[in-house]
Amino acid sequence: MIRVAGFLLLLLAASAYAESLTGRVITVNDGDTLILRIADRQPVKVRLAGIDAPEYNQPYGKAARRALSAWVSGRTVQVTVYSRDDYGRVVGTLDVSSQNVEAALVKQGAAWVYRRYNRNPHLLELEAQAKAAHRGLWALPEDQRIPPWVWRRHDKKTGSLTTTSSASTPPSGCGAKRTCSEMSDCKEAQFYLKSCGVKRLDRDQDGTPCERLCKDQ
């Protein structure tokens, strides 16, 4: 009995000291990913937990990025760390001025609840309310309301799954470059990703190409 009680105390102590980060947001990559500067440390890329915002090149993607920017850009935020993903990003919940940002984004229709990874049942209630009120992405025509995880899985070329859209012709400035090692700087990498459709430059699909070139942008 004493051993069990001691073990429970250790578990409680571990949860009480869950990792947290406090820093200023210096970049908003898209509707659910940002870069945080923490004192003298290297910038940290943070992926918001429990939600999935539209990809930048899908319907409502740019609006989703603006929604997150409105909440956090240039502000000091607190991150409760859940884990680190396969791309090295911190995954956690985000609070600014005691407001949970994930809940705020879902409530205004700027993101889906990422059911596969969500730990917060309240987000599902907020999503249902946003959908019923046709807020944000829920005001889009039904064929444009494509969950980002579906978009990423099925659309690697055109940037759209709607029946009315088709792949656009790359602008004349697009050359034959296809890898990060061929890019001279972040600006060129951004051009090839967004204008030329070279998706391989953004392997983790967070909207930022060639992480080493663009990490401080």
Q: Please give the positions annotated as active site.
A: 47, 55, 89
Asked if 117 contacts 49 with a C-beta cutoff of 8 angstroms, the reply is yes
Residues in the chain: 217
Angle at 69 between CA 25 and CA 50, to 5 degrees: 85
Asked if 18 contacts 28 with a C-beta cutoff of 8 angstroms, the reply is no
Continuous segment of H or E residues that includes residue 36: strand 33-37
Q: Is 13 helix (H, G, I), strand (E, B) or coil?
A: helix
Q: Whole-angstrom Cα distance, residue 152 to residue 173? A: 26
**Nearest partner of 91 among 125, 63, 119, 124, judged by Cα:** 119
Q: Whole-angstrom Cα distance, residue 32 to residue 87? A: 15
**Nearest partner of 120 among 51, 18, 68, judged by Cα:** 51
Q: Max Cα separation, the chain?
A: 74
